[in-house]
Structure 1
Amino acid sequence: MATDYEFQGWLGKGPESVDGKMEWGAFEPKKWTENDVDIQISHCGICGTDLHVLRSGWSPTPYPCCVGHEIVGRAVRVGHNVKDIKVGDRVGVGAQARSCLQSDCPECTAGLENYCSRENTNTYGSIYPNGEGKSYGGYADYNRTNGHFVFKIPDGIPSEFAAPMLCGGATVFSPLRNNGCGPGKSVGIVGVGGLGHFGVLFAKALGADKVVGISRRESKRDDVLALGADDYIATEDDKDWDTKNARSLDLIVSTVSHSQMPLNSYLRLLKVGGSLVQVGAPDGGELPKVNAFTLIPNRIKIGGSWIGSPNDIEAMLELVAKQNVKPWIQTRSLKDANQAVLDMVAGKARFRYVLINEKYA
């Protein structure tokens, strides 16, 4: 099938690109296969991961790099091997572009493609095996991704809502869903920002009896309660917060990406047998030391969770459509992506920025 469109987007060419210095230009997508889908992009969320990758915060970035892995648009080319997507469908892509998808892979066959150890290609900044090229993301006009990781967007979800859910939303939905969030449970969300506000929304939508937002400043209380939280803890404005709320939560999801966070105090909030799941990833990956005598006498567990699996994303979209979950987003023009990135770095987003490509919206 011939194409009459060109892949162009905002390219980061070095660590300074996070300082508002991305450059618009053409790029060569991965080589086409009949397993792929080309998407004309109308919306793309800005994720904290974009900032880490632009600045080479986690590992060296293979520049040039076009970031953005919360993509929504229309399928304009669909490979013959893709059975569930057709040209014209409104579709989305999250943080993963491909796994090995082999029948003998223990992760892929168990619906855990996001943990595949053989191949885990990110939507941007990854080098495909076998000389297929590099992955480029959604601050762009078009995206090419394996059809297994392309999702139909239900009619009831606006594109500007769906986009940031495909990574940010799924990243917190997955640990909530897979760690028993639901009726009878009390759940804490640490860090009520771009990721954490989804945590509050989804914990309520999943039916948790009590949802507690946990952040540093009292000034966020009204917003967090407006999101649907039942209570709020301000860790820097209440000196005795961990003592007052000890053993009150069954599950905590931590979205904080800071090596100096008060992790042991968060753990004291857990009931006997409770779990804390870490999803925030600081530059360098360093977390605070944990005292063994915080864990042992309380039989509590610390775990981690990666991006959502395809199954998680499908379940999340179904829940969002059914319960009319509405994230707090602010739309920005794709033309102004550099300024939007600067504002994201400055912490101005309440709570997610979504870039609108006016040419195709």
Structure 2
Amino acid sequence: MTSPETFNGWLGHDSKSVQGNLRWESFAPKPFAETDVDIKISHCGICGSDLHTLRSGWGPTHYPICVGHEIVGHVVRVGNVASSRLQIGDRVGVGAQAFSCQKEDCDECSSGLQQYCKGFVGTYNGKYEDSGYWSMGGYADHARVPAAFAVKIPKTLKSEDAAPMMCGGITVYAPLKNNGAGPGKRVGIVGLGGLGHFGVLFAKALGCEQVVAISRGRNKEKDARAMGATEYIATAEDENWDKKHAKSLDLIVSTVSSPDLPLAEYLSLLRTNGQFIQVGAPEDKLPAFAAFALIGQGCKLGGSLIGSPKEIEDMLAFAAEKGIKPWVQTQPMEEANKGVVEMDKGSARYRIVLVNEEEAKARGL
């Protein structure tokens, strides 16, 4: 099996493409390097980052753009250097990062923190400096990426479940693991969308003493408890929720991408020396808050960016071991515009995965 000279995908040509105006067109992939692999895509999740990028919400997007960085498929071409890591036929996943400098004198790359490398290239809307090519993502039939950022998928994980883990899953798994989530810990997850639902699933599987889902309304409470939440806070409906639950949590992971969040009140939920980790990325600034919201709690405010390839491997192995099953809705790749619009409306429960049906059927997926 080989890969074609040109790939096909859903391309956005301007900021209005997020309204369901993507067009299925051919595009030239990056020049093939011996460190690269070509992947025939079977599944690709729709991530909130796709929407921010399509609308140029985080800054100017390089159009035309093919988004999608929750990719699962099979390797159909392998460079000579890449062959030491991957083989034709391997089922692999690609997340939000496609490249880092990988130099020995890079503190981030040499310590397994490639996602913080100054040479970061995103799986889409990122520029490869050596070729000048702008990366293209997974709403497509094929993807070409450096093999270092393609991760093997455990056999027991379904492709439709593994796909949204490549970004949505690792974005919350990494800060949970890196900030001590586990037995005896009380963890809060702010937002119960695609990221937040993964937060509840992983916090529960990590054995946290309490898993508190925090959302505006109570419409998702039943779902949250089915996912493993032991407590639920509805900030728009529960009177004095911040005082009632003050100093009750060791760690909060915030997945919301709205700048309109009651940050000071969230910080008040932390126990002394607790941590608040922001992973959602609003298109505007976070709200201002008084310094005493930190000082008075003795707490820490931080952030976390996706995860390294090694962290993604660890997450996938953990998900396979624990039988973690994300809540996904599958749609044919032909319905990408429909999926983007539904995701933008917030109607997904809780992640949409696009499926190249012919490829999935051929692989028995």
- Shorter-chain TM-score category? over 0.9
Q: Structure 2: how far apart are the matches of 1:335 and 1:219?
A: 31
Q: Structure 2: how far apart are the matches of 1:198 and 1:189?
A: 9
Matches within 5 A, 1:180-329: 180-284=180-284, 286-329=285-328
Q: Indicate if the aligned counterparts of 1:29 and 1:134 stay in contact, CA closer than 8 A.
A: no
Shift of 1:2: 6.7
Partner amino acid, structure 2, of 1:250? D
Partner amino acid, structure 2, of 1:333? P
Partner amino acid, structure 1, of 2:291? A
Shift of 1:298: 1.3
Give SS of 2:77's match.
Answer: strand
Matched with 1:111 is: 112
Matched with 2:92 is: 91
Deviations 1:60-92 (A, max 9, x none): 000000000000000000111122210001111
Distance 1:2 1:346, change over 3 A: closer
Q: Structure 2: how far apart are the matches of 1:4 and 1:199?
A: 38
Q: Structure 1: how far apart are the matches of 2:2 and 2:67?
A: 26
Shift of 1:293: 1.2
Matched with 1:75 is: 75
1:356 maps onto 2:340 in alignment: no
Q: Indicate if the aligned counterparts of 2:9 and 2:25 stay in contact, CA closer than 8 A.
A: yes
Q: Structure 2: how far apart are the matches of 1:151 and 1:268?
A: 39
Shift of 1:219: 1.5
Give SS of 1:353's match.
Answer: strand
Matched with 2:363 is: none
Give SS of 1:163's match.
Answer: helix
| TM-score for both structures, normalised by structure 2 | 0.97
Q: Structure 2: how far apart are the matches of 1:2 and 1:17?
A: 31
Shift of 1:359: 2.2
Partner amino acid, structure 2, of 1:157? L
Q: Structure 1: how far apart are the matches of 2:151 and 2:91?
A: 9
What is the total number of aligned residue pairs between the two structures? 359
Matched with 2:30 is: 30
Deviations 1:270-297 (A, max 9, x none): 000000000011113x001121111112
Give SS of 1:104's match.
Answer: coil
Question: Share of identical aligned residues, percent?
Answer: 56
Shift of 1:157: 0.2
Q: Structure 2: how far apart are the matches of 1:102 and 1:215?
A: 42
Q: Indicate if the aligned counterparts of 1:30 and 1:132 stay in contact, CA closer than 8 A.
A: no
Partner amino acid, structure 2, of 1:215? S
- How much is the aligned-residue C-alpha RMSD, in angstroms? 1.1
Give SS of 1:298's match.
Answer: coil
Q: Structure 2: how far apart are the matches of 1:67 and 1:359?
A: 21
Q: Indicate if the aligned counterparts of 2:213 and 2:233 stay in contact, CA closer than 8 A.
A: yes
Q: Indicate if the aligned counterparts of 2:213 and 2:229 stay in contact, CA closer than 8 A.
A: yes
Matched with 2:152 is: 152
Partner amino acid, structure 2, of 1:116? C
Matched with 1:338 is: 337
Q: Give structure 2 stretches of 5+ with no counterpart.
A: 361-365
Q: Give structure 1 stretches of 5+ with no counterpart.
A: none
Deviations 1:153-193 (A, max 9, x none): 00000000000000000000010010011111000000011
Q: Structure 2: how far apart are the matches of 1:307 and 1:234?
A: 27
Q: Structure 2: how far apart are the matches of 1:246 and 1:216?
A: 17
Q: Indicate if the aligned counterparts of 2:5 and 2:28 stay in contact, CA closer than 8 A.
A: no
Give SS of 2:349's match.
Answer: coil
